[in-house]
Structure 1
Amino acid sequence: MEQNRKINRLKIKKDGVKMKKLVSGMVVSVIVIVMLIAVLFYVGGCGQTLADAESQSIVDKSVCMYLGSPRALVNGNELYIDSENKRVIPVLEADRTLVPVRVIAEGFKADVKWDANNKKVTIVHNGKNLEIVIGSKEITQDGKKIAIDTEAKIIEERTFVPLRAIAEALGKKVFYEDKLIIIGDNEITSADVAGISSEIIKKINELPIVGDIATLKKFLAESSGNNGEYRNDMIKSANLVTTMGAATGAMAESSQQSSEKVKNDYSETNVQVKGVDESDIIKTDGEYIYYLSNNKVTISKSYPSSDMKVIKTLTFNEKESYTPQEMYLDDKNLIIIGRTYPQNVYYEDSINSKMIMPDYNFRRNDMLEVKIFNIENKEDIKELRHFSVEGDYISSRKIGNMLYLISNKNAYYNYNIQVDEDILPYYRDSLVSEEDIKVKCEDMRYFPDFKMDNYMIVAAVDVSKEEKVNIDTYLGAGQNVYCSLENLYVSNITRNYSIKTMSNDVKMNTNIYKFKFENNGMDYEAKGEVKGTILNQYSMDEDNDFFRIATTTGNTWDDTSKNNVYVLDKMMKTIGTLEDIAPGEKIYSTRFMGNKLYMVTFKNTDPLFVIDLSNPEKPAVLGALKIPGFSEYLHPYDENHIIGFGKDTIELSTEGGTNAYYLGMKIAMFDVSDVNNPKEMFVEKIGDRGTSSELLQNPKALVFSKEKNLLAFPVNEYKLAAGEKVVNKDNYPNYGQFNYQGLFTYSIDLQEGFKLKGKITHIEEDEYKKSGSYYGNSEKEIRRAVYIKDTIYTFSNNLIKANDLGDMKEVGSLKID
């Protein structure tokens, strides 16, 4: 018995030892696993995979630069290529990349000396002696001459040589892809830096600084006189963009009627991107309506319509020469954007001044001015502040409380300006001073591949705070603007302006500059370039990290035109290309909707293309529908249907060939649920040749509500006389005569299409009888409409009308003379 107990105790002891060993092993395993997880989390928490860490080790032993940027990474350290001259950048000349010698050589611990007398650079590296003589196409290495394909030269008072020449002379390897330059000891491939290349570019991609007045004058002199054609294009484009403003949808509460208001049961102006507001001439908060006409802003209490009255009229002192153009509205502020003409500055030409009758030149001194009013108390609306920048209005956006404003300012450098300071643009900010504030050269940047005698000025301000306006100035120009919630894109055209030719060899490309919203301002992010030119802001779009753009190359008149779609990544590198769509035609309208692009081209017929963008690297045409006419604006109805607004057309044949001629206005509902076979479901035609609508140039004129089955827009309708044929004896379409001006209001659904509910006009019956072929009184033309609940309001320069949306009967009117 005792022996059995001893045996059991011994067995338990052995089992205990085994258990301790097992537990110890498990503990060690757990510790190892936890350590591995910790390492993985550490690496992941730093935003790097192990592969990225290896890539980083390459960068930490290299010199990294970016074409056109003054920044560099040298052995992992961020710095300026030249701390004393921030215009020193890698450049592209005659298809050769030239780089500054010193930053590269010193980055690899070489000793660099400059011999000014002999214009020679001497580099000592790892026991080797290199000599580079300015103007020579050779590098001397330990007495041996090595040919280089481009001569060494002085740029910005620094020595530049071909990229590969200096790298190979130092015994280094070059990685060069999409403007990113990495020089290191070993061969580097795209795969080696795939995970961190974007981060490298973000760190070193910066626009160079002008720096001083001498450099500014040099840049202006180089570009002055060669930009006339571009400037005309720029002004035309700016005029198109500035017609595209929109409302914010803010709700200013009223103590009397806040309980009566249904949230968002009123129209907001038609914007391109949800949450990104654009300016327009009319705003409403669901009770009050703010309307800009005849250089004044009328604020009316419009809901309910039985109690319509003018609350306040904002007028502007004639001495200010202030012309309001567009507005924004939020719950506290009314923001008015306008132009002011304080003075014309005259300059006397030094040669002409010696003549008996000297010629005095002048430059315009227009200002773009923003006035911010507090509207919380409608009986006591007060101006809080104002600020202004020089130049012509390009566009603006408002996201939350942040307002962004863009202008183009001609430097007028072709005139003999006698004071250097007069070359500089200026701005004003009432929170700082009523005096002019000159932009300093050290605060001015330029686009290396697009310098012209023009400034693009970007103003950013938080309208809810008493903070001074943030001004960024660029030597260059903008034409069209696209804005998402996170980024703003500015496009412009590049072409050869010095050659006055109609040759097809003159190529036009579109540059797109991407700016990211940061810290109540904007930071330059990247630049992309694509073939061709865009139609307007609707030709551009952002989806997640991808930028999409549709362009036209060539001309329709000589059948060289083609249309293209490009997809660019977040660093504006082109990754997807679809070219040569509809040869001989040009783009008339585009609409990006998620991973689809709907694009209308036209010459004789109207193809509606459905383009798949779900794979950014491989955009593809899914289907097309060819019908008479063309759409100039496309508006989403839902994810499977789109509405086209444009013109009807007719094809006529003559000895010179077959041509299409526009007729009256046409609206169409397209079914795109089968992307391979889009269909035209419903069509509505309005008037004859001569009929027009502001909607076709300015989408802000559209009122649309899917929930209310409502579609409305102003129309100038022209109709043929009774019995008059569409085509005359000369085989040319006849113009109609003026018939009607007003708001055409439709019910719209997928069962019956477009049904005319009624038409609203501000023109009296006797005026129609006296109008003749044309109507010339623009004061009574309806320009805009908004709805609040069950009432639709129409606006001409001197009158507001209210009509019931049910039976379309007039329920009120208000003169605003």
Structure 2
Amino acid sequence: MDIEKGTIRKITTALLCAVLSACGGGSSGSGAAPSVEDSSNSLLRSVSSDEEFVARFKSAYTQTNGNRQDQQPPLAAEGAAADNSESPSGYSSTYTLEDNVDEFDVLKYDGDYLYIVPTIQQTCCFISQGNAAFASDALVAPQNPQNPGSIRILSTNPDDASAQEVTTIPLADGEYVQGLYVQNNRLISIGTTQFYGSYGDAWQQIAPWGQQSVAVKIYDTSNIDNISQLWNISIEGGYVDSRRIGDILYLISRHTPYWDNIYYYPASQQEANANKQTLAGTTSADIIPRITVNEQTKPLLTAEDCLITRNDKADEYAYPVITSITAIPLNNPNSAQTTCYDEDANGIYMSANALYLSQARYGSSEGQTRVHKFALGAGKPDYRGSADIAGSLWNRGQVDFRMSEKGNQLRVVTTRYTGDSDDLRDHQLTILQEATDDLRLDQVSTLPNSSRPAELGKPNESLYGVRFLDDRLYLVSFEQIDPLYVLDLSNTTDPYIAGELEIPGFSDFLHPVNDNLLLGVGQSAQNQGLVKLSLFNVSDISNPSELTTVLLGKDGGWNYSEAQYNRHAFTYLAQADGTDRLTVPVQTSYNSDQGTYISENRLYLMEINGKSNPAAASLDLIGNIIASPSPAENWYGGQNRSVIHDDAVYFLSGDYIWSALWADPSTQIGPQ
């Protein structure tokens, strides 16, 4: 990683941690909670009564901080993805981690219209534009709309790569739209009352939890000239994440009630006693979040619908936050159902069948991650069990790639911190499955183990790219070289390292081209500062090889791609003729020979050819589309997305679209 990029990541993390240090974690739910017998060893159990629900919640404010298990503020996932990119309609869709599990994003496309969320302008951390110069004055972006702005809708003509704004959806004051879904002539927006940032998925780190709400608005777009709002849904709490499976929107939120005179982290017995007095008359109605659907308000859940942490120790910390999983039928949001529990959630992974919520726990010096599984179906999410895993999960990159479900098993990669200065971190694969006799996730196997002690990565190497693909696991670790590991998971009771390749640089993001080819997006070590794309031949997993590399950006400058930490910035579309097309945005900053500072955003167009013969496959650079901001404004091009539709390419940079035909990217249109 180059120094400037590393510095920005550290500053961003420090700012987030400073904010997070003021908040806590917790959870709750709605609908009938699963029946958990008292003899169970499950980590969560049903609330026995309204009185127990209130007492547990109060106890979070009447214990001193010395009993807390989460002394360090956890970091949430920075983004993640599945490959449903091969669209039979001839156009690309949002890159996701799992097929058939849609993820919201700032740009959505339905084959006819582009739907664009306005950039939420940052209030700090801009690169000074005072001495900026840009490649082409003709490509200067128009003035960005001021908050709240509007959702822009542009019609497209893929024959000539043109786009034209046809309408907008104005946003209310204080309405921060984080992303969109499109489905069956419906546009679904997810808005919040707080802005959580735009680096990766930093907005998932919610602090403080109180006095927030999440807004879900569903629009009918069947007549684009007369868009109507069908549903307006508001849920009390901070936004964690969401996914869509068919007609069901799954929304994860966190809530804590607000009191003017409460010590949220009592540091002394005097403060704890003051909280007891403040909360003396508290009822469950004061604690439970509310949902409003088209101006009709009701409780999101009941106390008896919640799960709570099994607490057998009198001094074990109770969480003052309710984490809710709400299943919202898009056809009838009034029938939404919720499950909740009383622990925090640092990140999620969702398959087509289950939702896994995970949280960092700090009772162990090596780190520990707790995972809860909820089965998905026609009704509310159903608790299926939990497990504690050694090591940390949510520490860098697109970390939900570190989790993968196959059948009834969950595969997880964590990082354990050893305290050994010569080898600070060890990486571990853990495979879990549901127990047959309890609500529990049992360990099937781990790697390394006593029979296979070889480490996953060289000493002191951090873990970068991770990708589970059927019975294989690809891992990229890095300190000075870039080992690519291929693990064979076909026998889940005995996984093993099948092959290894050492090359310079590293890959943050891994994409499967097919069973024999793997694409990596990361950074070059030999040409420091350049974005590196590597095409790997993995047809022989015992002997993986690097076929070719392409370097992107300006040599000697500072270059990075949003696709390294946010999969939604990566676009991939397979063609009927066997050629695969892909686009990668790169932001470049450098000093020109004249001493001026130049900043530009480019979208690089590439093809993978000959993929049916992995030994002869190639990665070919076609060209790029450039979008540069005006030097007169504090322009922030944080959202870079693209769409491929037949031979047309649409590049969203900031709030505006640049476009071109694939065969002639230098002849471009924009900004629109």
Please classify the TM superposition score into its range, dividing by the shorter chain length: 0.7 to 0.9
C-alpha distance in 2 between matches for 1:714 and 1:737: 20
Q: 1:637 to 1:408 in 2, by over 3 A?
A: same
2:392 and 2:416 in contact (8 A); partners too: yes
Tell me the distance in 2 between the aligned counterparts of 1:287 and 1:575. Answer: 47
User: SS state of the match for residue 574, structure 1?
Assistant: strand
Partners of 1:363 and 1:272 in 2: CA distance: 27
* Residue 221 (structure 1) aligns with: 61
Q: Secondary structure at the match of 2:116?
A: strand
- Which residue in 2 is equivalent to 1:762? 627
Q: Bigger shift: 482-491 or 661-670? A: 661-670
Deviation at 1:408, TM superposition (A): 2.6
Computing the radius of gyration over CA atoms, which structure comes out larger, 1 or 2? 1
Q: Structure 1: which amino acid aligns with 2:432?
A: L
CA distance in 2, matches of 1:232, 1:706: 44
Task: Name the SS of the counterpart of 2:560 in structure 1.
Answer: coil
Q: Which moved more, 1:557-566 or 1:405-414?
A: 405-414
* Alpha-carbon distance, 1:229 to partner: 8.8
The one-letter code sitting in structure 2 at the alignment partner of 1:520 is G
Separation (CA, whole Å) in 1 of partners of 2:529 and 2:541? 29
User: Residue 797 of structure 1: CA displacement?
Assistant: 3.4
User: What amino acid maps onto 1:691 in structure 2?
Assistant: N
**What letter corresponds to residue 268 of structure 1 in structure 2?**
S
* Closer/same/farther in 2, CA of residues 425 and 274 from structure 1, 3 Å limit: same
Q: Which residue of 2 aligns with 1:151?
A: none
Question: Which of residues 505, 517, 530 is equivalent to 2:389?
Answer: 530
- Corresponding residue of 1:443: 305
Corresponding position: 1:715 with 2:574: no
Look up the equivalent residue of 1:414 and give its one-letter code. Answer: Y
Cα 1:554/1:423, change in 2 over 3 Å = farther
Q: Give the match for residue 50 of structure 2.
A: 211
- Name the residue aligned to 1:693: 561
Change (3 A) 1:495 1:338: same
Letter in 2 for 1:315: P
Query: Paired residue for 1:322, among 172, 175, 178?
Result: 175
- For the residues of structure 1 that align with 2:154 and 2:594, how far apart are their CA atoms? 46
**1:753 corresponds to:** 618
Partner residue in 2 for 1:269: 94
8 Å CA contact 1:714, 1:742 repeated in 2: yes
The match for 2:226 is 380
Query: 1:159-206: CA deviations, max 9, x gaps?
Result: xxxxxxxxxxxxxxxxxxxx49xxxxxxxxxxxxxxxxxxxxxxx995
Do the aligned partners of residues 280 and 782 (structure 1) sit closer, same or farther apart at CA in structure 2, a change above 3 Å counting? closer
Q: In 1, are the aligned partners of 2:45 and 2:307 still within 8 Å (CA)?
A: no
Q: Is the 8 A contact 2:601 2:653 kept in 1?
A: no
762 and 739 in structure 1: CA distance in 2 versus 1, 3 angstrom threshold: closer
Conserved 8 A contact 1:790-1:804: yes
In structure 1, what is the Cα distance between the partners aligned to 2:495 and 2:62? 40
- Residues 249 and 739 of structure 1, relative CA distance in 2, 3 Å threshold: closer
Q: CA 1:246 to 1:573, structure 2 compared with 1: closer, same or farther past 3 Å?
A: closer
Gap change, CA 1:208 and 1:679, over 3 Å in 2? farther
Q: Does 1:455 align with 2:322?
A: yes
RMSD: 3.4
- Structure 1 position 795 matched with structure 2 position 634: no
2:434 counterpart SS class: coil
- What is residue 475 of structure 1 aligned with on the other side? 342
> 1:80 deviation in Å?
7.1
1:741 Cα offset (Å)? 1.6
Structure 1 residue 581 corresponds to structure 2 residue 456: yes
Q: Please show how residues 291-690 of structure 1 align to structure 2 within 5 Å.
A: 291-294=116-119, 295-304=149-158, 308-318=163-173, 321-340=174-193, 364-410=210-256, 414-415=263-264, 416=275, 417=278, 420-421=282-283, 424-431=287-294, 433-435=295-297, 437=299, 439-448=301-310, 451-465=318-332, 467-496=334-363, 506-535=365-394, 536-554=399-417, 558=421, 559-571=423-435, 572-579=441-448, 580-582=455-457, 583-649=459-525, 663-686=529-552, 687=554, 688=556, 690=558
Matches within 5 A, 1:166-315: 179=41, 207-209=46-48, 211-212=50-51, 214-221=54-61, 225=65, 230=70, 233-234=73-74, 236-237=75-76, 240-241=78-79, 244=80, 263-294=88-119, 295-304=149-158, 308-315=163-170
Distance of 1:812 and 1:305 partners within structure 2? 13
Q: Which moved more, 1:703-712 or 1:665-674?
A: 703-712
Structure 1 Cα separation of the partners of residues 49 and 361 of structure 2: 21
Asked whether the 8 Å contact 2:573–2:581 carries over to 1, the reply is yes
Which residue number in structure 1 is paired with residue 199 of structure 2? none
Cα distance change of structure 1 residues 283 and 563 upon mapping to structure 2, 3 Å threshold? same
State the distance in 1 between where 2:386 and 2:655 align: 46
In 2, Cα distance between equivalents of 1:674 and 1:539: 23
Counterpart Cα distance in 2 of 1:760 and 1:484: 35
- Give secondary structure in 2 for the equivalent of 1:573: strand
Identity of aligned residues (%): 24
Judge conservation of contact 1:303–1:788 (CA < 8 Å) in 2. no
State the distance in 2 between where 1:673 and 1:327 align.
Answer: 38
Separation in 2, partners of 1:221, 1:561:
35
8 Å contact 1:246–1:700 — kept in the other structure?
A: no
Letter paired with 1:711: L
- 1:595 and 1:612 in contact (8 A); partners too: yes
Note the residue ranges of structure 2 that are not aligned, 5 or more in a row. Answer: 1-33, 120-148, 196-207, 265-274, 312-316, 436-440, 449-454, 611-615
Matched, 1:778 2:632: no
Distance in 1 (CA, whole Å) between partners of 2:460 and 2:562 is 28
Offset at residue 209 of structure 1 (A): 4.7
* Residues 80 and 723 of structure 1: CA distance in aligned 2, closer, same or farther (over 3 Å): closer
Quote how far apart the aligned CAs of 1:574 are.
Answer: 0.6
- Residues 209 and 476 of structure 1: is their aligned pair in 2 closer, same or farther, counting only changes over 3 Å? farther
Question: In the TM superposition, what is the alpha-carbon distance from 1:472 to its structure 2 partner?
Answer: 2.2
CA distance in 1 between counterparts of 2:170 and 2:462 reads 44
> 1:554-602: per-residue Cα shift (whole Å, max 9, x none)?
1698223111111112332111110242242231121000100001112
The answer (yes or no) to whether the contact 2:523–2:530 under 8 Å persists in 1 is: yes
Q: Residue 677 and residue 301 in structure 1: after superposition, are their counterparts in 2 closer, same or farther (change >3 A)?
A: same
CA contact (8 A) 2:581 2:606 kept: yes
> What SS does the aligned partner of 2:529 have?
strand
Once the 2 structures are TM-superposed, how far is the Cα of residue 645 of structure 1 from its aligned partner? 0.9
Give CA deviations for 1:762-781 in whole Å, capped at 9, x if unaligned.
227xx6xx69xxx95225x7
Partner residue in 2 for 1:157: none
Cα distance in 2 for partners of 1:80, 1:368 equals: 30
- Describe the shift of the 1:689–1:649 C-alpha distance in structure 2 as closer, same or farther (beyond 3 A): farther
Decide whether aligned partners of structure 1 residues 474 and 804 sit closer, same or farther in structure 2, where only a CA change above 3 A counts: same
> Partner letter of residue 644 of structure 1?
G
C-alpha contact (below 8 Å) 1:670/1:680 kept by paired residues: yes
Choose between structure 1 and 2: higher helix proportion: 1
